[in-house]
Amino acid sequence: MLEIHWGLPVIIYLFLGGLGAGAGVVSASVFLRSHAGDASEGAFDIARWGALIAPIPVIVGVGALVFELGSFAVGDMFRWINLFLTINLSPMSIGSWLLALFVIVSLVYAYTFLGSNSRPGDEHHGLRKKMAWLMVPLGVGVALYTGILLGAMPSRPFWNSPILAMLFLISALSTGVASILLMRCIFGGSSSDAKGVEDSKYLLSSTDMLLISFEVLVVFLFIMYAHLTVGGVEHAIDVVLGGSLTSLFWLGFVVIGLIIPILIELKYVLPRLLKQEHYAMPHAMELAVCMLVIVGGFMLRYVVVIAGQVTGPIGI
């Protein structure tokens, strides 16, 4: 049996990094699309929750990565700084700078939303808007980087797919949406605009439904690409098509993380979409959908990281 070198800390990093980046992108996108929050209090509330969430998972994930890959021997504790001293076009170098810039920008962006008096047009409005414009490309870059980093290893056939980065990006956005909805469900919103709150919940749920739909399509393309590629990639995909990780992939990721959430969201989104009825997903159901999507996002990273190691390496 092949040895597993990248374990739970790396998986946690990939998962939390994607979730934080996704929450940041969703927050900044909603903020900018709502005319810097002026369109409705509900949109500003979404942006606020996403901004407050974004830096925390990324910082925790990077800490887990440093713990896993670093050395705590005397003189080696800060060896990771070399990533910033050597600047080149390698995925590791670019990703390190993306992560650093995202953490800095997301912390400043979150700062502009701190305080119970934060509102559209307040004293932080200008800074908030500038940071939002930076959050979108940086967040997309961080979410894509995790998939590109794995895909840049041709000796690991399961990872050697250009579609993996897109799968990680869409999953990051979906888990980011779910994390914002989850925080709003647990802690509630401060908005007094009931119509705005309903519209914002519908916006998040319908967006998540659309993202999950794309994710299902990308999973199909990922599998098809593997079968259309001659060599180790076609053999490697068998680990989730009857191999040791089949149940975790199809039940833990596809069924629990994709199929069940999208079916629940369809039940409550379609009446609003087709008949203009009120959107009214029960609180308990919202919590369940959010948790399922987040669990599915974690299972995706778990299966991909483990599968890439138990099916390789091959000669190049």
**112-126, 183-197, 222-236, 293-307: segment of lowest average pLDDT:** 183-197
Domains with residue ranges and CATH for the chain: 8-310 (1.20.1630.10)
Residue 194 has pLDDT above 70, yes or no: no
Give residue-wise pLDDT tens across range 152-179: 777 788 888 888 999 999 999 999 999 9
Query: What is the pTM assigned to this prediction?
Result: 0.89
Mean pLDDT (whole number) for 98-105:
93
Cβ(170)–Cβ(215) below 8 Å: yes
What pLDDT, on a 0 to 100 scale, did the predictor assign at position 214? Answer: 95
Cβ(46)–Cβ(204) below 8 Å: yes
Mean pLDDT (whole number) for 295-305:
95
What pLDDT, on a 0 to 100 scale, did the predictor assign at position 210? Answer: 94
Mean pLDDT (whole number) for 280-289:
90
